[in-house]
Amino acid sequence: KAGVTQTPRYLIKTRGQQVTLSCSPISGHRSVSWYQQTPGQGLQFLFEYFSETQRNKGNFPGRFSGRQFSNSRSEMNVSTLELGDSALYLCASSPRTSGSIGTGELFFGEGSRLTVL
């Protein structure tokens, strides 16, 4: 079974630009979560999507947004990039089904490493 696929793996942007990151979950997984990982803060929760609906959101500014498509693939967007947005962005999928909150196990992709200059 293929794992979680994230694209692009690496990208460099300048301040003020925007970026879109993509995530394809493990086949059959319908829940997708996004995390930001930095050396100082560790893994910080961005949002969780299930059945094309955002179910939960972390404490990030509105510049961070996301969506999920009917095939469970997800994208996140960061607008007006700041230097502090440089991080590894991790997508994780979970085997959650309708009518169940699931066990919470997250399976991570390799991440998209964003550098903002």
What does the binding site for other proteins look like in residue numbers (CB under 8 A)? 33, 35, 41-43, 45, 48, 50, 55-56, 58, 90, 101-111
CB of residue 33 vs other proteins: minimum separation in angstroms? 7
CA nearest neighbour of 114 among 49, 31, 22:
22
The span from the CA of 28 to the CA of 33, in Å, is 15
The span from the CA of 29 to the CA of 8, in Å, is 21
Nearer Cβ to other proteins, position 75 or 110?
Answer: 110
The span from the CA of 98 to the CA of 15, in Å, is 40
Nearer Cβ to other proteins, position 15 or 43?
Answer: 43
Nearer Cβ to other proteins, position 67 or 108?
Answer: 108
